[in-house]
Structure 1
Amino acid sequence: MQFYSTNNRDLRVSLKEAVFNSLPADKGLYMPERVPSLDAYFIRNLPGLSFQEIAFTVAGAFVEEADIPANDLRRIVEDAIDFDAPVRLLDHETAVLELFHGPSLAFKDFGARFMSRVMAYLSTDDRVLDVLVATSGDTGGAVALGFLGVPGTRVTILYPEGKVSPIQESQLTTNGQNIRAIAVAGTFDDCQALVKTAFNDPELNKAFRLTSANSINIARLIPQAFYYFHAYAQLRAQGAEEVVFAVPSGNFGNIGAGLLAHKMGLPVRRFIAATNVNDTVPRFLRNGRYDPRPSVQTLANAMDVGNPSNWVRIMDLFGQDQSAVRQAVAAYAFTDTQTREAIQSMVDRYEYIACPHTAIAWLATQAYRREYPGDYATVFLSTAHPCKFPEVFGPRIAAQIAVPDQVRALEGREKAVVRLGVDFEGFKSYLLGTA
């Protein structure tokens, strides 16, 4: 299968080129030349398949034998996806899909681990592979652990200084080895702009073998589709007939993967995009005008994105048909005050402690049910472990959060961080100085 640019369908490249180049020269994003359809037998029998079996089948729909032979792809999937994504029923119509059981305690472990292993398999160049990644919180930690110690790679993580949680910052800055971190005096959008500009700079591309680990990379997007199929399998096994997924949305890669799964044949009634006050997409779905604004800092920092990159992929999936997108996607935005109230409400109602991103997704399920009553299951995605956001919770809730061993291991580690401004020339000089 080849992959085209969202800016030019005639620009086609191989899987290897799409993975390593990340961003087409015309500044579009890569998409598969066709969305493969999974047969009805596979969909019908999902409840009887393991997570790894499901993931292998979904991955194999995009990765041809000539690119990665089936036996090798199976080994990649089994190595990358070696933790679960369980669905927990909270009441008869509401469930949570927990995506924080991987090494960095965030959903981005799925994409980062799969991508790092695909890159290692496909790499035939003796030069160091320089991975540039912008993060608003969780991406950087997942990528750092996904690539930590991988021979022939070096990861540079850019994050907005003062706008990630202390645990997230520790996950970015204490790894050493082939991982380095840059605190940018700006927003996530500024970090993302620096990374995108670097990919289109001739001098940097001559000096380095650059690639990205953000969700702009197609190898990050595909594995995120795995857990939608797995979640549906679990829900069907528990008797659910129709399913609505509510997705905390920042850069819109996560919900984009869900919509890709839907286009592949996963029977989902509808998707809900749940955002904080960075509400570019909810406004677009209301008024038809795509009007990105500078991002605003919130409690749900991984969603502090004013101009989500992956929205172009979603529009591409639907042939730029706004009406079709509205039929598939509902969207709601919530304030920090509403987020705090939701966290408390979930404790009171379910004895369930949710991170702020997860709480926003739950709020969206409640709003959607009020607007669209009916007999269906709402599943909201829990994208990060609550222990990563201790400053969000009051002391009573914080005391109930079990802190995993991998977080305790960060305590006392020395941080190594470079501080830069938002100007590209400063970032470029830093990179060239390390060539």
Structure 2
Amino acid sequence: MHLVNLKDNTQQVGFKEAVKTGLGRQQGLFFVEEITPLDNIDALLAMSLPDRSKVILQHLIGDEFSPEELGQLIDNAFTFPAPVAKVDDNLYSLELFHGPTLAFKDFGGRFMAQCLTDISQGAPVTILTATSGDTGAAVAHAFHGIDNINVVILFPQGKISPLQEKLFTTLGGNIHTVAVDGDFDACQAMVKHAFDDEQMRNELHLNSANSINISRLLAQVCYYFEAFAQLDDDARKELVISVPSGNFGNLTAGLIAKALGLPIKRFIAATNLNDTVPRYLEEGEWSPKDTIATLSNAMDVSRPNNWPRIEAMIEKGIIDKDILTGMAIDEDCTQMAMKQLQALGYTSEPHAAVAYRSLCKSLKDGETGLFLGTAHPAKFRESVENILGQPLSLPQALADVAGKHSYAVEKPADYAVIKQHMFDLLK
């Protein structure tokens, strides 16, 4: 697989090197220059999720892993389903919350852990990542207990749900968590700063597990094919997919699936009040504002890191910008959407509700809508119960951590402080 640093095209690497490096020079993302469509999509759709994923990822990655090696990594990572639920006559939800941490990031986090463990061959690695909610848990659980790999997770203090937080702050061992006095963008900025710091990179052997890392991103491509495979022929004809978007890795993966030949008609980039991308698609000006705290807090991102990859696909002609619609949903509409879904017999949470509401506003006659359910409603139990006025039982994964002690330490949004803390922990 040939990957180029989008900020410095003289830095060109293969897949394994990109996985080990995480972020390129000048904080540049690694990405492909072209995407070759897959042959015989119909035959692929008839396969199981793991078998289909082996074909898709071998096609994208190339021969850096043998088919047997890559197959084993996928079998170890994709051990749970991604079912499509019918919500209404022409509306469906792709439920991506049936993994160990009840969120879509289990797919990418587990595949990355498998890849990096194989590639590093026991050499020391420090995973440094920022989370607005689900990444932290998925990455923590994927790497917990792996020898010679330490994980440091920065998260915005008080800005993610308590149960989300407990899923990754209660593990201990090689999982180190820092509650930062700031928003997600401040956490992400410090992660990027660390990758520009030669001492940090070299002495701590840094890597990132955000969707910055190409392994996480490619894993997410697979569940778009899985969604399409579960729909009947009529639903496939005019399929519109609404993606609840924060850091935009999820939408990037969907666009890669489209470039591979999956016949999706168009995508909706659904955001909350942090509407940098919808405004950009409408007005053509990139003008991030201060991040706003919302009910859909995992999407509280005003400077999405994956957007340069989408821009690159548009500029290279890999995708047509016209297949993208931006839609920003406010707090009242988010709550209304949750109640509308409840009336249809479907319990959802704020992130999926943003995507559902965007579909309702955008869907045209003859189109079928699919929205991504990115997290189990119980991960946002307090807000879901308050909005819907009904109790919500906890799945076992959350019940197990609800009363556990958090190992998180509190730190200011100060890079020098975070750097010293990491050296104190790991040197």
Q: TM-score, normalised by structure 1?
A: 0.95
How big is each residue's C-alpha offset from its partner over 1:88-136, in whole Å with a ceiling of 9 and x where there is no partner? 112221101000000000000000000000001111363x210001000
How big is each residue's C-alpha offset from its partner over 1:304-335, in whole Å with a ceiling of 9 and x where there is no partner? 0010000000000111779932x011011011
- Report the equivalent of 1:401: 392
Matched to 1:272, the amino acid is I
Is 1:202 the equivalent of 2:198? yes
User: Which of 18, 40, 44 is 2:42 aligned to?
Assistant: 44
User: Which of 322, 329, 340 is 2:324 aligned to?
Assistant: 329
Is 1:341 the equivalent of 2:339? no
Query: Structure 1 320/334 Cα, relative in aligned 2: closer, same or farther at 3 Å?
Result: farther
- Sequence identity, in percent? 39
Is 1:366 the equivalent of 2:366? no
How big is each residue's C-alpha offset from its partner over 1:276-329, in whole Å with a ceiling of 9 and x where there is no partner? 00000000011000111221110001100010000000000111779932x011
1:240: how far off? Answer: 3.2
For 1:230 and 1:18, the matched residues in 2 are separated by 26
For 1:169 and 1:189, the matched residues in 2 are separated by 17
Answer with 416-425 or 305-314: which moved more: 416-425
1:396: how far off? Answer: 8.4
Query: Structure 1 62/398 Cα, relative in aligned 2: closer, same or farther at 3 Å?
Result: farther
- Report the equivalent of 1:78: 75
User: Which of 404, 408, 422 is 1:417 aligned to?
Assistant: 408
Query: Residue 46 of structure 1 contacts residue 230 of structure 1 at CA under 8 Å; is this kept in 2?
Result: no
- Report the equivalent of 1:427: 418
1:237: how far off? Answer: 5.7
Query: Structure 1 322/125 Cα, relative in aligned 2: closer, same or farther at 3 Å?
Result: closer
User: Which of 100, 104, 112 is 1:115 aligned to?
Assistant: 112
- Report the equivalent of 1:355: 349
Is 1:244 the equivalent of 2:235? no
For 1:56 and 1:76, the matched residues in 2 are separated by 9
- Count of residues in correspondence between the two structures: 426
Q: TM-score, normalised by structure 2?
A: 0.96
User: Which of 148, 152, 159 is 1:152 aligned to?
Assistant: 148
Answer with 267-276 or 202-211: which moved more: 202-211
User: Which of 367, 381, 392 is 1:390 aligned to?
Assistant: 381
Query: Residue 94 of structure 1 contacts residue 377 of structure 1 at CA under 8 Å; is this kept in 2?
Result: yes
- Report the equivalent of 1:183: 179
Query: Residue 47 of structure 1 contacts residue 236 of structure 1 at CA under 8 Å; is this kept in 2?
Result: no
For 2:277 and 2:47, the matched residues in 1 are separated by 35
User: Which of 263, 267, 270 is 2:266 aligned to?
Assistant: 270
Aligned partner of residue 231 in structure 2, secondary structure: helix
Matched to 1:414, the amino acid is H
1:64: how far off? Answer: 2.5
Aligned partner of residue 38 in structure 2, secondary structure: coil
- Report the equivalent of 2:15: 15
Query: Structure 1 44/84 Cα, relative in aligned 2: closer, same or farther at 3 Å?
Result: same
1:2: how far off? Answer: 1.9
Matched to 1:271, the amino acid is F
For 1:401 and 1:427, the matched residues in 2 are separated by 37
Gaps of 5+ in 2: none
For 1:230 and 1:153, the matched residues in 2 are separated by 31
Query: Residue 195 of structure 2 contacts residue 201 of structure 2 at CA under 8 Å; is this kept in 1?
Result: yes
Matched to 2:348, the amino acid is A
- Report the equivalent of 2:58: 60
For 1:312 and 1:167, the matched residues in 2 are separated by 32
For 2:85 and 2:215, the matched residues in 1 are separated by 28
1:85-234 equivalence runs, <5 A: 85-124=82-121, 126=123, 128-234=124-230
Query: Residue 199 of structure 1 contacts residue 205 of structure 1 at CA under 8 Å; is this kept in 2?
Result: yes
Matched to 2:415, the amino acid is F
1:363: how far off? Answer: 0.2
Aligned partner of residue 181 in structure 1, secondary structure: strand
For 2:212 and 2:313, the matched residues in 1 are separated by 15
1:171: how far off? Answer: 1.0
Answer with 332-341 or 99-108: which moved more: 332-341
For 2:122 and 2:318, the matched residues in 1 are separated by 42
Is 1:25 the equivalent of 2:21? no
Matched to 1:354, the amino acid is S
For 1:323 and 1:259, the matched residues in 2 are separated by 7
